[in-house]
Chain A
Amino acid sequence: MAKKKTDEVRFAPTGIGDEKDGAIQKGVDLPAPTRKKHKSLGLSEDDLKDMYEQMFLQRRFEERAMQQYQKGKFGGFLHLYIGQEAVSTGTVYALNDDDDIITAYRDHGWGLCRGITPNEGMAELFGKKTGCSKGKGGSMHFAKTENHFWGGYGIVGGHIPIGGGLAFANKYNQNNRISATFFGDGAVDQGSLHETLNIAKLWGLPAIFVVENNGYSMGTAAKRHTVAEIVDRAKGYDIKSKVVNGMDVFSVFEAMKEIAEWVRENSEPYFVEIRTYRYRGHSMSDPQKYRTKEELKEYQENDPIERLKSYLLDEGILDEDGIEEIEEKVEQEVLDAVEFADESDFPDEEALYDDMFAEDEPYFHN
């Protein structure tokens, strides 16, 4: 018998949160953070201070970038990483310096963590020739390949097979390096992920594929854009997987360290869902109507930087003065970067044609 016709036909799941009985519908559920202390994770007090400085730098860099954007100092898109700094920082500390990292367009934090200086980063945002990508890439295309940071990429899911290719070359050269590819929860719905996971498993690629699940694919909650649990995608490809608390830098470090060692040892891919949260909109033009203020507040109370700060204070590794010293140093660095970017020159007009081809005098059709 034919199914009865209904009055209303719906396709995409609808609704912003479910605020029944005052309960907050959260974008992502955070798993419990690790209970381990820094020593048992193999981190020294200096490591922790560096991590704090690094996370604070990523935060302040973007806050200042946002101000400059609002002042009209540069154009284009600006996707902020604020709230997710524990993911980049924990990962970079867990991997070897010559392991290959590639990410999507929310890339400032990753670049800074992999050695793009605040000056080079801010100048890139401003489109100046002193930028990390000579002003050719902008916010979405930070890169520092000499540090094995292969860049930010602006096509959702487009860089996932490339991350597999970085691992392919490492296996080919038997150089003991692995690749780690980061993308958002929105990219989980792209076919490129699925083709890559299949090939990565089939070919034994030493590659970690990491979803930075921040709860939203632009303005669409994860529950509205993808079915079932994201981490379970790995099951269909017989790939090991893990869910990690991305608001806690120790948890990210611990998980990524173990995973990286396993991947390196076994030359097999691994799929990780790191749950995190972005405090700002998808980009600067986002009115954020898709989530509640209460939800945002709840995650901000779990702030990864505040969390590490409390740990440093509670463990007596730094006192308030010590924290302030780091923060002031970073603050100055970022202000200097703004000045540097502002005062740097734009690329010369001839630079328009540079970097298109490997040759010194390439052919351009006209």
Chain B
Amino acid sequence: MAELQFREAIKAAIDEEMDREEKVFIMGEEVAEYDGAYKSTEGLLKKYGFKRVIDTPISELGFSGIGVGAAMNGLRPIVEFMTFNFAVLALDQIINHASKAGYMTGGQISMPIVFRGPNASAGQLGATHSVAYDSMYAHFPGLKVIYTSEPDDAKGLLKSAIRDDNPVIFMESEQMYGMKGEVSDEDDYIIPIGKGKIKREGSDVTVVAHGKMYHVAKQAAAQLEKDGVEVELIDPRTVKPLDLPLIVESIKKTNRCVVVDEAHPFGGFASEVGFLIQREAFDYLDAPVQRVTLPDVNAPFSKPLFDAWLPDAKQVIDAVNQVTYRN
């Protein structure tokens, strides 16, 4: 195992896949000469040159569409967004074209493309820079959606995403790029898309959390342990396809569940998982499933308001106390 920063794990995955396959290239704002807005492409230009590491203008719709066309015509693009908040400008390409072209031509078109970049909030950036979009993309058929929490997952899953012959949304976080973690140094380390992971075993309550929220849930689990509550912490890693069996098996053991999600409450990951649990594990539940999400409110700038807005460990602990009737 090697200790890598999240951004180094991302870069290693891209590097290995570019090295392996000539058709893989990366484009995005500041990915080349600037070496990456968040340094997740640092050094790639030097290694692979201007043909395969390409700076784009600030034209999300335009360059995403060029990526889609390039994928149709035989290449394997990695399209980097400086943040998924900006990818909203490219939704026509991702939703109307990347996810649908294959189907509506009766399978004549394949679409091996990865759209990647940071998702959700990153401190006090205001309302338009703080949205978690993973649930929204997962709504659409034809897309796979990954939002990882740790460098090891990021490396193994990004490599899988680049090799996948379908469009994949791969999400990171500005606030996690500097985070360090042990990364497998296994040759050609691959984690299959759609497999979650039990990252902490426990018998009292199942907590499901992915992306940045995994770390919030982990912090809550550490505090709860001091109170004698053993949390089983599941990181689904892939939002879609969702590893539902892993969650259900855990609930059969703990009989209680809290879902922590960085999206707003309506129709998000938490509500979907909550529904699935009532359908698949109804008889095993000793308490209604609870969720911790953002409020149904835009991200504020002011520090105290922002802190009140973003889910924290205390909210997770409160939710765990509720499902374990410890209030």
Contact = CB atoms under 8 A, between A and B. Distances in A.
B247 interface: no
A132 interface: yes
Contact of B65 (A131, A144, A164, A170): A164
Nearest to A163: B69
A196 B62 contact: yes
Interface string A144-159: 1110001101010011
A163 B73 CA distance: 10
Contact of A162 (B56, B72, B142, B165): B72
Contact of B25 (A160, A172, A355, A356): A172
B105 interface: yes
Given A144-B108, A172-B51, A202-B57, A356 B66 contact: no
A141 interface: yes
A202 to B, nearest CB: 7
A133 interface: yes
A196 B66 contact: yes
A166 B73 contact: yes
A158 B104 contact: no
The interface size bin for chain B is 35 or more
Contacts of A78: none
Contact of A151 (B64, B109, B142): B109
A165 B67 contact: yes
A198 B109 CA distance: 26
Given A168-B70, A173-B74, A196-B66, A158 B106 contact: no
Nearest to B272: A365
Contacts of B56: 199
A173 B74 CA distance: 9
Contacts of A145: 72, 105, 108-109
Interface stretch (B90-98, B183-191, B256-264): B90-98
Interface in A93-111: 100, 102
A153 B109 CA distance: 13
Interface string A207-232: 00000000000000000000000000
Contact of A169 (B75, B93, B240, B241): B75
Interface string B86-127: 000000110011000111111111101000000000000000
Interface in B233-263: 240-242
A135 interface: yes
B88 to A, nearest CB: 13
A95 B290 CA distance: 61
B79 to A, nearest CB: 10
A133 B75 CA distance: 22
A14 B186 CA distance: 68
Contacts of B166: 357-359
A153 to B, nearest CB: 7
B6 interface: no
B106 A131 contact: yes
B61 A134 contact: no
Contacts, number: 156
B194 A161 contact: no
The interface size bin for chain A is 35 or more
B69 to A, nearest CB: 2
Nearest to A355: B107
Interface in B146-185: 164-166
A18 interface: no
A261 interface: no
Interface in A316-337: none
- Which interface residue of A100, A160, A356, A359 has the most chain B CB atoms within 10 A? A356
Contacts of A198: 57, 59, 62
Contacts of A305: none
A157 to B, nearest CB: 8
A192 interface: yes
Contacts of A199: 56-57, 59, 62-63, 66
A191 B91 CA distance: 13
A356 B142 contact: yes
B141 interface: yes
Contacts of B142: 356-357
A143 B72 contact: no
B231 interface: no
A355 B72 contact: no
A354 interface: yes
A198 B65 CA distance: 13
Interface in A156-195: 158-170, 172-173, 179, 191-192, 195
A164 to B, nearest CB: 5
Contact of A164 (B66, B71, B138, B194): B66
Contacts of B32: none
A136 interface: yes
Given A134-B107, A165-B68, A159 B25 contact: no
Contacts of A173: 74-75
Contacts of A158: 65, 92-93, 96-97
B194 to A, nearest CB: 6
Contacts of A136: 103-106
Interface in B306-322: none
Nearest to A192: B61
A63 B160 CA distance: 49
A191 to B, nearest CB: 6
Contacts of B241: 363, 365
Interface in B32-59: 51, 54, 56-57, 59
Contact of A133 (B68, B105, B110): B105
Given A143-B108, A166-B69, A363-B241, 14 more contacts: A151-B108, A159-B97, A161-B93, A162-B93, A164-B65, A165-B66, A165-B71, A168-B75, A169-B75, A172-B70, A355-B107, A356-B102, A359-B165, A363-B240
7 contacts: A145-B105, A163-B69, A169-B72, A169-B73, A195-B65, A199-B62, A358-B110
Interface of B: 25, 51, 54, 56-57, 59, 61-75, 92-93, 96-97, 101-110, 112, 138, 141-142, 164-166, 194, 240-242
8 closest pairs, A vs B, by CB? A165-B69, A161-B65, A195-B62, A134-B106, A358-B165, A169-B73, A355-B107, A363-B241
